[in-house]
Amino acid sequence: MNGDGTRAVRAGLPEPETYRPTLPGPVFTAHYHLHGDDDPATGPYTYGRDANPTWTLLERALGELESPDAEAETVVFASGMAAISAVLFSQLRQGDAVVLPDDGYNLLARLRERLTGYGIEVRTAPTAGDAQLRVLDGAKLLWLETPSNPGLDVCDIRHLSDAAHAQGALVAVDNTLATPLGQRPLALGADFSVASGTKALTGHGDVLLGYVTTRDPELAASVRLWRKTVGAIPGPMEAWLAHRSLATLHLRVDRQATNALAVAEALRDRPEVSGLRHPGLPEDPSHRQAVAQMRGRYGCVVSFALPDRDHARRFLGALRLVDDATSFGGVRSTAERRGRWGGDAVPEGFIRFSAGAEDPDDLVADVLGALDEAARG
């Protein structure tokens, strides 16, 4: 019954062994010694595309964080997209139907085209509310992303999972924004918790990674086989860096959530700001559901809109402590004008702000100063 921090600092570590490191270094190898072909090569490690001891420790760690109370298996991937694709393409066949969010991560639109091309029926529903229920009939898989990126809507994982299971559908939740310390989709009834480890999970903006966690050994095996088949494997160095970063996950997500809330509160009273969203704000449309199913940490992202594209550009240019960069979840604050990429249904002045681990007063002062400068034109 350890707390999150206690669990995070030790997650996945091997039993202490005298003269051995606490977290063994990355294992760089393409193949492993075997014992001749009379020996059924049933050991865990034969070829580097199938398994690696550095992944094994990270997978154990992520399993402990995503599912501390029940046995679960994790499969790590080269990126979040590799993990998402692994679930979709390992589970769906021609003729199946899948329900995707229409306001989730922007590459879901590209996946949607590909799935359709393979003869899979794609239905969509917004994240907020429960419109997913109206398109569930006969679906094989329900995909949720909550809180959604970049709109920060939240849906009821338990309620939607129960409804999906009653119809025989599997449920996957993209847990990237919350991290396993912010939300445990498997405990809320989902079959898969899927995430990009590129964001807040690793938190330093220096690693791309993804993972899938499930409590069902057969589902885990099919996702693992998909990884082996397409070869979407993380490098040992990335896996090791990710594991090293997990030891500070609780410190980072707590500080970043505190900072995000401070920034959101500061933005609240600004006349040029519209559409302010952060699940931790009491008046946010997501707040009630977020409190009910998240674990007191509502993530590092704040979304809002400035009057137009130029105003947003002036704001980004005037920030001193916040890098103009895409992605989110890093210890250094970042912000971007999301519309620059196309693909998200957002206004031209829409800003996705990712709070880092700076001192909250410094960060808020920087944001307010940049707003003042941007307002002067």
Ligand X SMILES: *Cc1c(COP(=O)(O)O)cnc(C)c1O
Of 74 and 176, nearer to ligand X (C-beta) is 176
**Residues 134-173 interacting with ligand X (rule: CB under 6 A):** 145, 149
Q: Which stretch binds ligand X (CB under 6 A): 193-201, 226-234, 240-248, 317-325?
A: 193-201
* Residue among 63, 80, 234, 330 that touches ligand X (CB under 6 A): 80
> Which lies closer to ligand X via its Cβ, residue 150 or residue 349?
150
The burial of 188, by beta-carbon neighbours within 10 Å (0-12 exposed, 13-18 middle, 19 or more buried), is given as buried
- Asked whether the beta carbons of 171 and 165 are under 8 A apart, the reply is yes
CB of 270 to ligand X, least distance (A): 26
Half-sphere CA count of 179, side-chain side, radius 13 A: 31
Angstrom distance (rounded) from CA 296 to CA 139: 32
Nearer to ligand X, 23 or 207 (CB): 207
Q: Which of 174, 191, 284, 366 is catalytic?
A: 174
C-beta of 152 vs 169, nearer to ligand X = 152
Residue type for position 294: M
Task: Give 131-179 as a DSSP string.
Answer: GGGGG-TT-SEEEEESS-TTT-----HHHHHHHHHHTT-EEEEE-TTT-
Annotated catalytic residue within 199, 215, 252, 297: 199
List Cβ neighbours of 18 (8 Å cut-off, separation of 6 or more). none
Query: SS3 sequence, 229-253?
Result: HHCCCCCHHHHHHHHHHHCCHHHHH
The alpha helices in 31-146, defined as continuous H runs, are 53-66, 80-91, 108-117
Q: Which is nearer to ligand X, 232 or 364 (CB)?
A: 232
* Residue 202 binding ligand X, by CB under 6 A: no
State how far the Cα of 42 lies from the Cα of 281, in Å rounded to an integer. 52
Task: Report in angstroms how near the CB of residue 230 gets to ligand X at its nearest.
Answer: 14
Q: Does 227 bind ligand X (CB under 6 A)?
A: no
Which of 4, 59, 103, 174: binder of ligand X (CB under 6 A)?
174
User: Binding to ligand X by residue 210, rule CB under 6 A?
Assistant: yes
Q: CA angle at residue 270 from 265 to 272, to 5 degrees?
A: 135
Tell me whether residue 66 or residue 366 sits nearer to ligand X (CB atom): 66
Residue in 55, 89, 105, 315 binding ligand X, rule: CB under 6 A: 105
Residue 174 is a catalytic residue: yes
Q: Contact, 288 vs 152, CB < 8 A?
A: no
Does 81 bind ligand X (CB under 6 A)? Our answer is: yes
203 touches ligand X (CB under 6 A): no
Whether 49 is catalytic: yes
Using Cβ positions, the residue closest to ligand X within the complex turns out to be 80
Q: Which two tokens stand for residue 182?
A: 């912010």
Residues that bind ligand X (CB under 6 A): 79-81, 84, 105, 145, 149, 174, 176-177, 196, 198-199, 208, 210
Catalytic residues: 49, 105, 174, 199
